[in-house]
């Protein structure tokens, strides 16, 4: 299957640069995956599409200030590091710039209190770094690091919390699970008041979620692994939801990928609590095992995430809905508007 099948025209001005002041002021496009019917709303209308007995699954990961700016120790040249995942202790997987000049053995310094030595290079451009420092690493990172906003966002974010969901809890992500940015605590209380349960999973967003396609054929693309956790409480809630005939609604593609990873591990049996690494790549032809509906933002052309939503609703229906979104000037990507596929 050729990647170009998932291409579409996206005017640059529709890629949202800043978050809306009111989280719930976003627009909501709804897509019926059975009929292809599309409707347009404001985000709080999501309540009209939820039913008692459903369970909303949220990713409670928390973004760390993962972008560091320093200099190469031997030359003084500027260097940038994006932390992706902690490999244990003071070792981290990261992306670096400029990649051609930051090879194994190079040392990057970040002021007087932090430095990193590049230990090795990976197949996908990533590096393994070992940090040395004076003090507590997380406190230093909080002072020196910046929020890892996507490269198309040019403006610095004054309020770091605006790139966190209101329910973020477990630190470890290099990007926000952005579908959840639309929710306020008040709206989540309204969700509960409708008789809808809320469950939490954790997937620390890394290179796998936002890495661009690396192959011309969809089947040849390899996802980078990300760490996930599904608790016993969440597993019990998911099982109860299925037993009573409710829907499992994933908020964001990270929640969807976690749920489908767990479903695959359980091989059709009840959901069990577990944690581990997932490199699941969902594209058309995949049959969803746990996810019944999905709330997500609008994704970029030819991205793995467009392929995931196409697996749920069908490529033609997704591209037709996206054409309407472009015509209606919906905001795309991290700080953009939302889409509910049901």
The four Cα atoms 218, 224, 227, 233 give a dihedral, to 10 degrees, of 0
Which pLDDT does position 209 carry in this prediction? 64
Q: Taking the mean position of all CA atoms in its chain, how far away is CA 281?
A: 13
**pLDDT of 82:** 93
The domain in which residue 104 lies consists of 67-144
Q: Same structural domain for residues 46 and 189?
A: yes
Place of tokens 């292809």: 36
Q: What is the pLDDT of residues 159-206, one digit of tens each?
A: 999 999 999 999 999 999 999 999 999 999 999 999 999 999 999 998
- Cα 337 to Cα 69, 130, 246, 304, 325: the distances in Å are 31, 38, 26, 19, 9
Q: What is the pLDDT of residue 207?
A: 67
Q: What is the pLDDT of residues 80-132, one digit of tens each?
A: 999 988 898 899 999 999 988 899 999 999 999 999 999 999 877 789 999 99
Is residue 150, in this structure, part of any structural domain at all? no
pLDDT at 206: 83
On whether both 50 and 199 belong to a single domain, the answer is yes
The tally of domains found in the chain comes to 2
CATH number where 86 lies: 2.40.10.240
pLDDT, one tens digit per residue, over 132-162 is 998 999 999 999 999 988 878 877 788 999 9
The C-alpha atoms of residue 285 and residue 274 are separated, in whole angstroms, by 26
- Based on the fold, state whether residues 22 and 73 are members of the same structural domain: no
Do 137 and 27 belong to one domain? no
Do 35 and 101 share a structural domain?
A: no
> What number is the average pLDDT over the span 35-40?
97
208 pLDDT band (50/70/90 cuts)?
low
Number of Cβ within a 10 Å radius of residue 92: 23
Q: Are 110 and 129 in the same domain?
A: yes
**Within a domain: residue 153?**
no
pLDDT at 20: 94
Task: Check whether residue 25 and residue 80 sit in a common domain.
Answer: no
Q: Which DSSP letter does residue 114 get?
A: E
- For the stretch 63-80, pLDDT in tens is 999 999 999 999 999 999
Last residue of a domain, one of 112, 144, 176: 144
Given 86, 116, 144, the domain boundary residue is 144
Domain-located, residue 149: no
3-state SS track over 286-329: CCCCCCCEEEEECCCCCCHHHHHHHHHHCHHHHHHHHHHHHHCC
Residues 76 and 220 in one domain: no
Asked whether residue 248 falls in the same domain as residue 317, the answer is yes
CATH of the domain at 212: 3.40.1780.10
Q: Is residue 151 part of a domain?
A: no
C-alpha to C-alpha distance for 41 and 338, rounded to whole angstroms: 10
Residue 134 shares a structural domain with residue 171 = no
Rounded Cα distance, 118 and 140, in Å: 19
Same structural domain for residues 137 and 219? no
Boundary of a domain, candidates 85, 110, 144:
144
Shared-domain flag, residues 134 and 83: yes
Residue 20's Cβ-side half-sphere holds a number of Cα atoms within 13 Å equal to 20
pLDDT digits (tens, 9 = 90+) for 218-277: 888 888 889 999 999 999 999 999 999 999 999 999 999 999 999 999 998 999 999 999
Angle separating helix axes 253-266 and 304-313, nearest 10 degrees: 70
């Amino acid at each position: 299957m050729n990647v170009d099948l998932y291409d579409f025209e996206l005017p640059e001005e529709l890629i949202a640069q800043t978050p809306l002041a009111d989280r719930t002021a976003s627009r909501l496009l709804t897509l019926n995956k059975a009929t292809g019917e599309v409707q347009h709303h404001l985000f709080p209308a999501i309540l009209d599409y939820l039913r008692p007995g459903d369970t909303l699954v949220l990713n409670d990961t928390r973004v760390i200030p993962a972008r560091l700016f320093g200099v190469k120790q031997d030359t003084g040249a500027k260097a940038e590091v994006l932390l992706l995942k902690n490999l244990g202790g003071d070792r981290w997987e990261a992306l670096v710039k400029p990649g051609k000049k930051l090879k194994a053995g190079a040392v990057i310094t970040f002021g007087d209190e932090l430095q990193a030595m590049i230990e090795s290079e990976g197949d996908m451009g990533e590096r393994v770094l070992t940090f040395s420092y004076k003090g507590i690493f997380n406190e230093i990172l909080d002072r020196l690091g910046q929020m890892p906003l996507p490269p198309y966002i040019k403006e610095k974010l004054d309020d770091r919390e605006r790139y966190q969901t209101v329910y973020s809890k477990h630190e470890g992500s290099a990007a926000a699970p952005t579908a959840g940015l639309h929710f306020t605590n008040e709206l989540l209380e309204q969700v509960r008041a409708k008789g809808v349960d809320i469950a939490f999973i954790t997937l620390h967003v890394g290179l796998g979620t936002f890495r661009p396609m690396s192959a011309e054929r969809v089947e040849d693309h390899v996802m980078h692994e990300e760490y996930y956790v599904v608790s016993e409480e969440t597993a019990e809630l998911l099982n109860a939801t299925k037993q009573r005939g409710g829907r499992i609604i994933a908020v964001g593609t990270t929640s969807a990928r976690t749920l489908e990873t767990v479903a695959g591990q359980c091989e059709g049996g009840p959901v069990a609590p577990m944690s581990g690494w997932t490199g699941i790549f969902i594209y058309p032809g995949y049959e969803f095992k746990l996810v019944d509906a999905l709330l997500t933002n609008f994704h970029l052309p030819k991205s793995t995430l467009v392929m995931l939503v196409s697996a749920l609703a069908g490529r033609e229906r997704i591209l037709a809905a996206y054409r309407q979104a472009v015509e209606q000037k919906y905001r795309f990507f991290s700080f953009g508007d939302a889409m509910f596929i049901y």
